[in-house]
Amino acid sequence: MRIKLIIKYNGTHYYGWQRLGDKPTIQGEIENALYRIHRRRTQIYGASRTDAGVHADGQVAHFIPLESTFDINYVQALNQHLPNDIRILSSEGVADNFHARESSQSKLYEYYLAVGRSLPYYCAHWTRSQKLDVELMNKACQFILGEHDFKSFQSSGSRTKTSVRKILEASWRTEGDKYIFHIHGTAFLKYMIRNLVGTLSLVGSGKISVSDFVKILNKKNRSSAGSTA
């Protein structure tokens, strides 16, 4: 049996999900908490590796417990040993063939971008004076729906078997002074969402057209796209 966890965290003070030496990470904190429970090192596997400063409201993970610990209430036990900005929302026993990453069907991300003088919590800051044209950005989003090669938006030097990914939903909306990019797909490349935001914001600010965005997608060349948000 394996234990499946649903995790919520504020990533502000962490260097992302993946354990990274002595630096604080989400995986590192949870594995340290498991050590206090099991008294031995237990590796935890996440559905995604979020970047530094990124938050989660439903990250899935799993680990293999000791046989003698099957009956532990891991929500209560882990939260007792975790900092307040990392919370275990639920835990359940699952079959041995379950894997948080490999069993994942789809993932949903949102990127929050703030304009104006104030910087609301959970937001990146758009430092330019002009506002963004959401209608134009949404027109560009229609061209990334479905299955495409997203090499133009892949992190430079990233090693993957294929840069083809399937996007189920992609759109922008506004909430007050915030622009929110919503994207739902079967999987994503490293920095893919941040690179899409950086390029789509060029469309929204009028620096490139929707047809220019499509050309960038089809070029399959990272240097042709916008900067990483």
Active-site residue set: 51
Quick one: angle between helices 210-219 and 192-204, nearest 10? Answer: 150
- Enter the DSSP assignment of 9: E
Q: How many CB atoms lie within 10 A of CB 153?
A: 30
What is the strand order of the sheet 164-175 is part of? Answer: 124-125, 107-114, 178-185, 164-175, 146-149
Alpha carbon distance 154, 151 (integer Å): 5
205 beta partners: none
Alpha carbon distance 181, 118 (integer Å): 19
